[in-house]
């Protein structure tokens, strides 16, 4: 259907450079895969939000959140694996370009998840696109990593004194025009709100670990929140740290 | 894209190809000029692209028809080929029951007639062929009236051509077309009225009493009669051929060979109501009704058009939705840019909502229509959002009568829609629902929309979005954290011992002990001293807690320690306990409850039957009319079962296909081998195998391998078929159990069966006589500005839902009986005999019986 306007052979503009195989094999993989890649997500978006939205295209088999190599927290992308090809196609057709957590997300066919693909490929651990960004994007950790390092360096040159900066909004004007809104809340507001909300949710769930993490967050917040990405509090860290191995194992079998 | 292609594609659109002109005559001349130049060297390419355009852009068919008429003056052979190709594809479509192609081919033929490419008489022959097939089908002696769906479809197709060519036919072949219309009238008098109460959007449609609502064909017939009395004038259909009439008359008319309609299937050999009903169900699956009109807006908004214009615009819109699924930009731009001289936003909204809510299934997933509505809101920011809001308000006002399945779709759509528009909605308008009983459908609707919004976003955000009606916070779901019995806080009543087991288990999991080790530990140290109940509770709660951090964590725990749970919950009773434990752990989070149960069914830790039993346990039954929670779990379980069966069917059919090719390969290899062997034998006069032993050996091994392959495929097919047969048996058990449970709970609560029990009479039983706990009533919010209180008063007249609790419970539950029956009708029909014997007995309540039957679209007069 709709063959008049769509080139059915052109399935994705994106070519994964880590794919081991020829262009033809890559395209073949995309044509048969039941996995979709989701990009431009907020770091705060949870698997359950993804589940609610993407299950409207079909029954979901698995979700793999993209994680920052270093912090092991979500870094703005994920893979959703469906049971059927048709459902994956519908997810691409009907969800790409729509809003999740106030952001337009991108949904593309993916050649299939393999272990290791959950990690960000950027130098600093997150996605490459978050290395070089110069805008302030509160849903994706503030400034790009390069800009953050620069700000950090500046701060060390000029000693502002610890704690004084934390309470100020970001130095560069945030670019809100891009992600919709039109609603006048500033970046620091959203930042703060998300921060608290997630902490609440975490507290509910893991009372025992919360105190330790809170103090961790608090100190970070007062000292260097303008330059370093905030730790994503919505990510329900376990603290018991065998998650990576778990994730590896859980891929061996499917329901 | 080469330029002639984009000129052909863009004809009729305001586009750069046509210098933004919107004069159809210019367009046709420009396009004709471009094609004429190319015709000599790319005629076959033009031909196939032109036919493709006409099929996929059917609202432009009059333009393409005129264009072809002009081409006919240049190159008769080219147009002759167009006619032949159209005839072939039309015949194929008839044979394969490709409804869209049949319908569009006929419109195309009509346009060719208008531009003198076809004789009007040829078109009349097509009409008569279809009409006589239809008349035979509904003839009780010669035909098979259970296939009326197809007969109706053929007649609808004939009538659908008339807005496009009625004027020409009436002018050029008045007697013949009159004959066709008389024939249609005769057909209408033989066929039976389709009263598909099972598919109507609103429950009250069926009980209108004396006023029988027209079915789709009767309605269309009336519109066509008005059109005919009106001199066949249609505003919504462009007539570009008129501008070229002087030229077109010179064109040669082409032959259109005879077409034939497939025979209708034989009547079942044993004539029984059940066999008849099954055939009717099959026919309706193959020839589904394209749309049902959903009247949302007051008629002043939509009825200023001629009756036929409404039909034509609906056709346009439905075709754009059909062909531009997946092309967002084009879909939205064609939807808003139809070639009609009037505004149609309201009609467009009604048409899209009629598809979103279409029963039993819309042509595409509901999320497609969600996307279209979003895109139209962006394409027409000044007009469409207000129309959508109006539709929501109108549907909300009638929500108590809206079909249950439609309510669920509306909730999912609305929450998703709002999530794309910053969750902005004038919630204060609906704040009055707080004054309604907690089972009032409007209140439940608001509560479920908020639940879904929270799932798509997060609690605080949604809380903030209702700040214009802060009292509605009462309807927000709880914040959603787990309810862990053994968290060690809040001084739970759990004993220290149980607490200790939980933390032991937690440590063992962290220490990466295997499932086997844990099973042993439970069997030796926990179960003997604590017994089933406590062991199950501690183990399940603790494992769920370990997997509570995310969907993936849950899956990981279930994959690693599922066996522990399986060992503990080895029968249905224990599985029901397991589900209850899951529900208790996630009692503040409906989504996680549903997901966890769904995954456990996925890992076969719990059966669908256990889920049905749990759904019908007393604490859930009490929720039936006030929450979607139990229904979501039930929907998931039935749909997962259905998906498994669908997968098995697909595997079986693909195996069958591969077996055919494997058999071919095997027999070919065998033939090769035999040929080689006999050849040797002939050459030598006696079998000497030594001449080319290597080749022979090779052939032999190929043949053996092919044979082996074939055999192993037969084996796997057998295995799959056995699995499928088993799954179908289990499905029968599932539906029997589902219906028995429904019947039992309904029998307990429905008022005593009297012959004329109707839903209306249920609704008219008011709650006054019911003892309602005062505590259960929502406390009136005293608002400082009095805004809320006033609102609720002003809406009091509208929201006359004072149906009693028990009555609402019955209405909701009957609504779900109908929903499940309708959605899985194709799976239920094969088991209908058993269902009749075991569930739909004399003891079944008439309202339950009626809900099942209307869901299955089983007419009572067939019984």
CB contact under 8 A, A48 and B371: no
Q: What is the C-alpha separation between B661 and A7, in angstroms, rounded?
A: 31
Residues of chain B scoring pLDDT < 70: 1, 204-212, 271, 302-303, 489-494, 680-691, 753-758, 760, 764-801, 859-863
Judgement on whether residues B242 and B336 belong to the same structural domain of the protein: no
Identify whether B766 is part of a domain: no
| Count of positions (residues) in chain A | 255
Cα A66 vs. chain centroid, distance in angstroms? Answer: 6
Q: What is the pLDDT of residue B761?
A: 72
Is residue A165 pLDDT above 50, yes or no?
no
Q: Of the given ranges (A88-97, A152-161, B189-198, B229-238), which has the lowest mean pLDDT?
A: A152-161
Judgement on whether residues B103 and B14 belong to the same structural domain of the protein: yes
Q: What is the C-alpha separation between A190 and A204, in angstroms, rounded?
A: 21
Q: What is the pLDDT of residue B212?
A: 66
Largest CA distance in chain A: 63
Confidence class for position A80, pLDDT limits 50, 70, 90: very high
Q: What is the C-alpha separation between B58 and B66, in angstroms, rounded?
A: 14
**Opening angle at CA B72, ends B69 and B78, nearest 5:** 125
Q: What is the pLDDT of residue A9?
A: 55
Size of interface A-B (CB pairs under 8 A): 146
Among residues B606, B638, B670, the one where a domain terminates is B606
Residues B746-797 pLDDT 10s = 999 988 766 556 676 777 665 444 333 333 434 433 334 333 333 333 343 3
Q: How far is B368 from chain A (nearest CA, A)?
A: 6
B370-401 per-residue burial string, b: 16 or more CB within 10 A, e: under 16? bbbbbbbbebbeebbbebbebbbebbbeebbb
Q: What is the pLDDT of residue A12?
A: 63
Q: How far is A226 from chain B (nearest CA, A)?
A: 24
Report the residue of A8, A94, A176 to disrupt the B interface, i.e. the one with the largest count of B CBs within 10 Å: A94
What average pLDDT does range A64-74 have in this prediction?
Answer: 92
A221-250 residues touching B, CB cutoff 8 A: 236-238, 240, 242-243, 246-247, 249-250
From residue B598, give the alpha-carbon distance in Å to each of A80, A153, B544, B641, B754: 17, 51, 14, 11, 40
Residues A110-129 pLDDT 10s = 988 888 888 888 887 888 88
Q: Is A97 on the interface with B (CB under 8 A)?
A: yes
Tokens of B742: 């429904």
Judgement on whether residues B163 and B88 belong to the same structural domain of the protein: yes
Judgement on whether residues B450 and B311 belong to the same structural domain of the protein: yes
Q: What is the C-alpha separation between B87 and B105, in angstroms, rounded?
A: 8
* Chain A residues near residue B647 by CB distance under 8 angstroms: 83
Nearest to B548 among A3, A97, A205 (CB): A205
Judgement on whether residues B570 and B634 belong to the same structural domain of the protein: no
Confidence class for position A244, pLDDT limits 50, 70, 90: very low
Report the residue of A36, A51, A52, A210 to disrupt the B interface, i.e. the one with the largest count of B CBs within 10 Å: A52
Query: What values do phi and psi take at B433, rounded to 5?
Result: -60, -20
pTM of the model: 0.85
Q: Is B576 within 8 Å of B617 (Cβ atoms)?
A: yes
Identify whether B690 is part of a domain: no
N- to C-terminal Cα separation, chain B: 59
A10-49 residues touching B, CB cutoff 8 A: 46-49
Judgement on whether residues B572 and B434 belong to the same structural domain of the protein: no
Place of tokens 């002003």: B794
Identify whether B683 is part of a domain: no
If phi > 0 it is left, if psi is from -120 to 50 it is alpha, else beta; for residue B791 that is alpha
Q: What is the pLDDT of residue A127?
A: 86
Other beta carbons within 10 Å of B316:
23
Segment (H or E) for B48: helix B24-56
Helix residue ranges per DSSP H, A96-206: 129-132, 145-157, 187-205
Q: Is B565 within 8 Å of B602 (Cβ atoms)?
A: no
CB contact under 8 A, A4 and B455: no
Which residues span the domain enclosing B504? 493-606
Q: What is the pLDDT of residue B684?
A: 57
Nearest to A204 among B412, B481, B560 (CB): B481
Judgement on whether residues B197 and B55 belong to the same structural domain of the protein: yes
Is residue A208 pLDDT above 80, yes or no?
no
Q: What is the pLDDT of residue B127?
A: 97
**Opening angle at CA A34, ends A28 and A35, nearest 5:** 95
Q: What is the C-alpha separation between B35 and B41, in angstroms, rounded?
A: 11
Q: What is the C-alpha separation between B430 and B418, in angstroms, rounded?
A: 15
* Chain B residues near residue A6 by CB distance under 8 angstroms: 326-327
Judgement on whether residues B20 and B147 belong to the same structural domain of the protein: yes
B374: Cβ–Cβ under 8 A, 6 or more apart, which residues? A98, B417, B420, B421
Structural domains of chain B, count? 4
Judgement on whether residues B602 and B621 belong to the same structural domain of the protein: no
* Chain A residues near residue B324 by CB distance under 8 angstroms: 1-2, 5
CB contact under 8 A, B591 and A207: no
* Chain A residues near residue B59 by CB distance under 8 angstroms: none
Q: What is the pLDDT of residue B196?
A: 76
Tokens of B616: 């019908």
Is residue A232 pLDDT above 70, yes or no?
no
Residue that wins the pLDDT comparison between A180 and B86 = B86
Q: Is B824 within 8 Å of B739 (Cβ atoms)?
A: no
Nearest to A255 among B374, B461, B599 (CB): B599
Q: What is the pLDDT of residue B174?
A: 96
Q: What is the C-alpha separation between B363 and B291, in angstroms, rounded?
A: 10
Identify whether B601 is part of a domain: yes
Q: What is the C-alpha separation between B148 and B153, in angstroms, rounded?
A: 8
Q: Is B255 within 8 Å of B845 (Cβ atoms)?
A: no
CA dihedral B632, B634, B639, B642 (to 10 degrees): 180
Could you tell me which of B771, B746, B767 has the C-alpha nearest to residue B757? Answer: B746
Identify whether B702 is part of a domain: no
Residue that wins the pLDDT comparison between A26 and B545 = B545
Judgement on whether residues B128 and B61 belong to the same structural domain of the protein: yes
B430-446 per-residue burial string, b: 16 or more CB within 10 A, e: under 16? bbbbbbbbbbbbbbbbb
Could you tell me which of A233, A243, A232 has the C-alpha nearest to residue A210? Answer: A233
Q: Which CATH number characterizes residue B243's domain?
A: 1.25.40.180
If phi > 0 it is left, if psi is from -120 to 50 it is alpha, else beta; for residue A248 that is alpha
The percentage of chain A sitting over the pLDDT mark of 90, rounded to a whole number, equals 28
Other beta carbons within 10 Å of B182:
10
Identify whether B259 is part of a domain: no
Is residue A183 pLDDT above 80, yes or no?
no
* Chain B residues near residue A94 by CB distance under 8 angstroms: 365, 367-368, 370-371
Judgement on whether residues B594 and B652 belong to the same structural domain of the protein: no
Q: Is B196 within 8 Å of B205 (Cβ atoms)?
A: no
Nearest to B550 among A47, A52, A53 (CB): A47
Judgement on whether residues B418 and B398 belong to the same structural domain of the protein: yes
Could you tell me which of A73, A139, A77, A135 has the C-alpha nearest to residue A108? Answer: A77
Identify whether B756 is part of a domain: no
CB contact under 8 A, A95 and B367: yes
3-state secondary structure of B850: helix
Nearest to A48 among B560, B591, B643 (CB): B591
Whether the link from the prior residue into B460 is cis, omega within 30° of 0, is: no
If phi > 0 it is left, if psi is from -120 to 50 it is alpha, else beta; for residue B254 that is beta
Identify whether B168 is part of a domain: yes
């Amino acid at each position: 259907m709709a063959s008049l306007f769509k080139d059915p052979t052109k399935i994705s503009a994106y070519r994964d450079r880590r794919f081991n195989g020829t262009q033809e094999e890559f395209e073949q993989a995309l044509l048969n895969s039941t996995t979709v890649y989701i990009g431009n997500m907020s770091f705060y978006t949870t698997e359950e939000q993804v589940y609610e939205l993407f299950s409207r295209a079909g029954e979901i088999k698995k979700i793999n959140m993209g994680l920052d190599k270093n912090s092991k927290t979500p870094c703005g992308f994920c893979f959703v694996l469906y049971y059927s090809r048709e459902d994956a196609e519908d997810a691409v057709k009907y969800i790409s370009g729509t809003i999740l957590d106030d952001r337009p997300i991108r949904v593309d066919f993916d050649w299939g998840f393999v272990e290791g693909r959950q990690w960000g490929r950027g130098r600093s651990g997150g996605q490459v696109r978050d290395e070089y960004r110069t805008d302030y994007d509160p849903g994706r950790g503030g400034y790009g990593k390069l800009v953050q390092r620069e700000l950090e360096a500046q701060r060390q040159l000029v000693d502002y004194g610890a704690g004084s900066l934390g309470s100020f909004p970001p130095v560069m004007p945030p670019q809100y025009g891009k992600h919709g809104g039109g609603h006048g809340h500033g970046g620091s507001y959203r930042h703060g709100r998300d921060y608290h909300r997630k902490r609440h949710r975490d507290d509910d769930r893991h009372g025992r670990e919360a105190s330790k993490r809170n103090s961790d967050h608090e100190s970070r917040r007062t000292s260097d929140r303008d330059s370093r990405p905030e730790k994503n509090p919505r990510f329900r860290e376990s603290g018991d740290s065998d998650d990576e191995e778990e994730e590896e194992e859980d891929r061996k079998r499917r329901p | 894209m080469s330029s002639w292609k984009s000129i052909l594609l863009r004809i009729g659109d305001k586009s750069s190809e046509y210098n933004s002109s919107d004069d159809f005559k210019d367009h046709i001349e420009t396009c004709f000029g471009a094609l004429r130049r190319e015709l000599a060297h790319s005629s076959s390419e033009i031909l196939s692209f032109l036919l493709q355009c006409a099929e996929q852009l059917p609202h432009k068919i009059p333009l393409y028809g005129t264009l072809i008429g002009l081409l006919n003056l240049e190159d008769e052979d080219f147009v002759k080929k167009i006619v032949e190709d159209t005839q072939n594809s039309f015949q194929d479509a008839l044979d394969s029951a490709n409804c869209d192609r049949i319908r569009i081919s006929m419109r195309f033929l009509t346009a060719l007639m208008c531009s003198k490419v076809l004789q009007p008489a040829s078109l009349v022959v097509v009409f008569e062929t279809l009409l006589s097939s239809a008349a035979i089908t509904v003839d009780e002696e010669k035909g098979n009236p259970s296939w009326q769906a197809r007969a109706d479809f053929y007649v609808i197709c004939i009538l659908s051509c008339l807005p496009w060519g009625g004027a020409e036919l009436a002018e050029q072949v008045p007697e013949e077309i009159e004959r066709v219309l008389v024939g249609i009238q005769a057909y209408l008098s033989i066929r039976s009225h389709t009263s598909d109460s099972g598919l109507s959007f609103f429950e009250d449609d069926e009980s209108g009493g004396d006023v029988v609502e027209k079915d789709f064909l009767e309605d269309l017939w009336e519109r066509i009669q008005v059109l005919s009395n009106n001199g066949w004038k249609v505003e919504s259909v462009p007539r570009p051929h008129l501008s070229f009439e002087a030229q077109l008359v010179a064109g040669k008319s082409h032959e259109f060979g005879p077409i034939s309609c497939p025979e209708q299937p034989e009547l079942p050999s044993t004539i029984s109501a059940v066999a008849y009903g099954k055939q009717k169900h099959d026919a309706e699956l193959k020839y589904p009704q394209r749309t049902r009109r959903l009247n949302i807006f007051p008629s002043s908004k939509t009825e200023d058009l001629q009756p036929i214009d409404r039909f034509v615009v609906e056709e346009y819109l439905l075709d754009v939705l059909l062909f531009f699924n997946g092309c967002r930009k084009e879909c939205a731009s064609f939807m808003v840019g139809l070639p009609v001289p009037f505004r149609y936003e309201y009609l467009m909204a009604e048409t899209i909502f009629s598809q979103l809510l279409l029963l039993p299934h819309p042509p595409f997933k509901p999320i497609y229509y969600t996307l279209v509505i979003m895109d139209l809101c962006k394409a027409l920011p000044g007009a469409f959002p207000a129309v959508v809001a109006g539709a929501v308000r109108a549907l909300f006002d009638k929500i108590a009568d809206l079909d249950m399945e439609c309510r669920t779709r509306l909730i999912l759509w609305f929450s998703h829609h709002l999530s794309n528009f910053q969750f902005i909605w004038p919630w204060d308008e609906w704040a009055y629902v707080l004054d309604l009983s907690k089972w009032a459908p409007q209140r439940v609707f608001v509560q479920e929309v908020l639940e879904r919004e929270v799932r798509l976003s997060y609690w605080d955000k949604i809380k903030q979005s209702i700040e214009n009606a802060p009292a509605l916070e009462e309807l927000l779901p709880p914040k959603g954290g787990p309810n862990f019995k053994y968290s060690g806080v809040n001084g739970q009543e759990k004993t220290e011992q149980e607490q200790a087991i939980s933390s032991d288990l937690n440590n063992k999991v962290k220490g990466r002990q295997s499932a086997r080790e844990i099973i042993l530990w439970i069997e030796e140290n926990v179960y003997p001293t604590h017994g089933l109940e406590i062991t199950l509770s501690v183990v399940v709660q603790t494992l769920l807690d370990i997997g509570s951090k995310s969907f993936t964590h849950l899956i990981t725990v279930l994959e690693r320690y599922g066996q522990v749970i399986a060992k503990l919950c080895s029968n249905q009773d224990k599985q029901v306990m397991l589900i209850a434990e899951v529900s208790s752990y996630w009692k503040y989070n409906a989504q996680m409850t549903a997901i966890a149960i769904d995954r456990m069914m996925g890992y076969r830790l719990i059966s669908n039957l256990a889920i049905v039993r749990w759904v019908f346990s007393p604490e859930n039954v009490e929720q039936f009319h006030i929450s979607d929670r139990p229904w979501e779990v039930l929907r998931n379980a039935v749909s997962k079962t259905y998906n498994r069966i669908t997968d098995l069917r697909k595997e079986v059919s693909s195996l069958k296909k591969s077996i055919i090719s494997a058999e071919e390969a095997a027999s070919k290899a065998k033939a090769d081998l035999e040929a080689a062997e006999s050849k040797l034998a002939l050459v030598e006069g006696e079998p000497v195998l030594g001449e080319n032993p290597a080749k022979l050996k090779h052939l032999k091994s190929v043949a053996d391998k092919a044979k082996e392959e074939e055999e192993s495929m037969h084996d796997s097919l057998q295995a799959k078929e056995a699995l499928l047969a088993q799954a179908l048996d289990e499905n029968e058990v599932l539906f029997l159990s589902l219906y028995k449970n429904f019947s039992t709970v309904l029998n307990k609560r429905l008022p005593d069966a009297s012959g004329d029990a109707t839903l209306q009479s249920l609704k008219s039983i008011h709650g006054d006589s019911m003892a309602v706990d005062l505590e259960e009533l929502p406390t009136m919010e005293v608002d400082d500005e009095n805004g809320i209180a006033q609102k609720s008063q002003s809406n009091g007249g509208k929201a006359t839902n004072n149906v009693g609790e028990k009555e609402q419970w019955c209405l909701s539950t009957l609504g779900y009986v109908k929903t499940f029956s309708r959605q899985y009708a194709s799976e239920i029909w094969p088991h209908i005999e058993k269902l009749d014997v075991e569930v739909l007995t004399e003891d079944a309540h008439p309202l339950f019986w009626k809900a099942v039957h209307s869901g299955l679209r089983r007419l009572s007069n067939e019984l």
